[in-house]
Amino acid sequence: MKTTALFLSAFGLLPLMTSMPALAQSPSSPLIEASVQLDLPRQTEMRYLVYLPPDYHPAGGTTWPLMLFLHGAGERGTNLSRVAIHGPPSLVKQGTNFPFLIVAPQCPEGQRWENDPLVRLLDHVTRQYAVDPSRIYLTGLSMGGYGTWKLGLTYPEKFAALVPICGGGEFIDALLVSRDKPAAFKSLPVWAFHGAKDPVVPLDESKRMVNLLRKLGVAEVKFTVYPKANHNSWAETYLNPELYTWLLKHRRAGAKP
């Protein structure tokens, strides 16, 4: 955590991302375990972790940015603590505080991320917590990177920015949304990350989506390739304060709860 704190301090983000334990959360358990019943044929319950910023107060009149984090295939199952092995939930466990809420659901064993449960979850947490609907950010790694492309390109109007890491998407999703929701699609900022030496998800999976979005006229598409990184390109990505600065400068115009 000291290394992380020094890294963040160098970029001027330490006042926002401190090592203090979060309000209403003990240092030994900084993440809240929660669940919601979903009216869906395949899945009736979704379990998830929630992180609240240190000065979050639901009745304070302030609304907060929200990050929806999608884990990879290895964290599926019923052991909710596995959701915090990687990414922002892992950093929270190490003591890092973020200037936004984090919601990290768990995908059931043997399944992949599906849009319907995630949209229902997002609707639930935006009602449950003081969320700013214009500042909802979506990110995920590996299988969660695929889920980020899928959900974000289906519902661009819901998100202020996407950060898919070592994942890929379907051309048809981008083509359909460019036709059906052109304004929301073209104004959706995307910053994709991938390791050049990834043996699990080829670099081309991200590259082809980035190239397609640029071709279809998306105004802001960034792409970072780590020349020496393997599959765990998320480790460097989520430690980069520039990522969070970039996220927080974006808002979704016209977003509603």
pLDDT at residue 177 tops 80: yes
Q: Where in the sequence is the domain holding 227, given as residue range(s)?
A: 2-248
Question: Per residue in 216-237, pLDDT tens?
Answer: 999 999 999 999 999 999 999 9
If one counts the domains in the chain, the total is: 1
CA-atom Rg of the chain in angstroms? 17
> In a 3-state reduction of DSSP, which class is residue 191?
strand
Buried b (16+ CB within 10 A) or exposed e, 106-115: bbbeeeebbe
CA distance 7 to 78: 34
Q: What is the pLDDT of residue 254?
A: 66
Do residues 71 and 83 make contact, with C-beta atoms less than 8 angstroms apart? yes
Task: Give the orientation angle of helix 143-154 with respect to helix 115-128, to 10 degrees.
Answer: 80
pLDDT tens digit sequence for 37-90: 988 877 679 999 999 998 898 887 899 999 999 999 999 999 999 999 999 999
**Is 55 inside any structural domain?**
yes
255 in any annotated domain = no
What does the pLDDT read at residue 19? 35
What would the pLDDT profile of 10-48 be if each residue is shown by its tens digit? 334 544 444 333 323 334 458 999 999 988 877 679 999
Instruction: Locate the DSSP E strands across 122-198.
Output: 131-141, 161-165, 190-195
Structural domain contains residue 119? yes
DSSP alpha helix (H) spans, 155-248 = 171-180, 182-186, 203-215, 234-238, 241-248
pLDDT, tens digit (0-9, with 9 covering 90-100), for 93-104: 999 999 999 999
- CATH at residue 95: 3.40.50.1820
Q: Spell out where 26-76 has E strands.
A: 32-37, 45-51, 64-70
pTM of the model: 0.89
Nearest to 144 by CA among 237, 239, 248: 237
In a domain, 135, yes or no: yes
Domain annotation covers residue 226? yes
